[in-house]
Amino acid sequence: MPKDKLLIVDDEHEIADLISLYLENEGFQVFKFYNAVDAFQCTQTENIDLAILDVMLPDMNGFQLYQQIRETHHFPIIMLTAKGEGMDKITGLSLGADDYMTKPFQPLELVARVKAQLRRYKRYNADPKQEEGVIVHSGLVLDIKAHSCTLNGKPLSLTPTEFSILQILCQKKGSLVSAEELFRLIWKDEYYTKNNNTITAHIRHLRDKMGDSYEHPKYIKTVWGYGYKIED
């Protein structure tokens, strides 16, 4: 069975080397770089399954690298931020990053998050013959077989996380879904805390792509203190 290919980019050699060691011990094939330019070139020549990007890089910041990668690839991306850099987390999530971790962190926790993201990504990109169904709602068409989404005939470019959130809300159309439930359905083996803004950031990014409004939503409605719903 082919090994999953992981991209690691961090200019702190000790951290990059440590992450690589742990992931290689788990059976992953690791491509490690200390700068953004070489890392981006790797994404053009290798079929990367997941990337771990540090925010602070010598040639460009991790957010710029993230945006370059997202122009052509939709594999999961985990951002690494420095301790106390709260705006980095917000920026990363608002761009659509799938997860983030704050330095210093436990390598085993990072390994667990990598595995969780890969499991979800593989479900998202599963053999279409294994899945059925097309969800249609007010001009929104979610094709589960093709893992594609259109709105009023125009394709929406969604990350795996955004597709998963929209699919869950559409499948539970008319029902309220809490942020905690969304989080646990998507990241099955991670812990949710009340101050976790991951789902909020992804919902905001989804609304931006759909041209939806928080104040007067046509699709995703926020019920303050309870969660989200798509009206039946």
Q: Which residues are CB-neighbours of 41 under 8 A, at least 6 positions away?
A: none
Q: Where is pLDDT greater, at 2 or 201?
A: 201
Strand partners, 220: 230
Q: Give per-residue pLDDT as tens, 136-171.
A: 888 888 988 788 899 988 899 888 889 989 999 998
Q: For residues 111 and 23, is the Cβ–Cβ distance under 8 A?
A: yes
Predicted TM-score (pTM) of the model is 0.59
Q: Give per-residue pLDDT as tens, 26-72.
A: 999 999 999 999 999 999 999 899 999 998 899 988 889 998 998 88
pLDDT of residue 21: 96
Q: Which residues are CB-neighbours of 20 under 8 A, at least 6 positions away?
A: 8, 30, 32
How many whole angstroms separate alpha carbon 23 and alpha carbon 71?
26
How many whole angstroms separate alpha carbon 14 and alpha carbon 141?
46
The residue type of 210 is M
Nearest to 8 by CA among 86, 111, 85: 111
pLDDT of residue 229: 92
Helix 198-210 / helix 160-171 crossing angle, nearest 10 deg:
90
Helix 36-45 / helix 62-70 crossing angle, nearest 10 deg:
20
Segment among 40-44, 115-119, 187-191 with least mean pLDDT = 187-191
pLDDT of residue 129: 37
| Best mean pLDDT range from 72-76, 189-193, 194-198 | 72-76
- Looking at the chain, list the stretches that DSSP marks H as alpha helix, in order from N- to C-terminal side: 13-25, 36-45, 62-70, 86-95, 107-124, 160-171, 179-186, 198-210
Q: Where is pLDDT greater, at 127 or 104?
A: 104
Q: Give per-residue pLDDT as tens, 67-86.
A: 899 888 888 999 998 765 55
Q: Which residues are CB-neighbours of 229 under 8 A, at least 6 positions away?
A: 169, 172, 173, 174, 175, 176, 177, 220, 221, 223
The residue type of 124 is Y
Please check the confidence at residue 87 and state whether its pLDDT lies above 50. Answer: yes
Q: For residues 164 and 170, is the Cβ–Cβ distance under 8 A?
A: no
Q: Give per-residue pLDDT as tens, 206-224.
A: 999 999 888 888 899 998 8
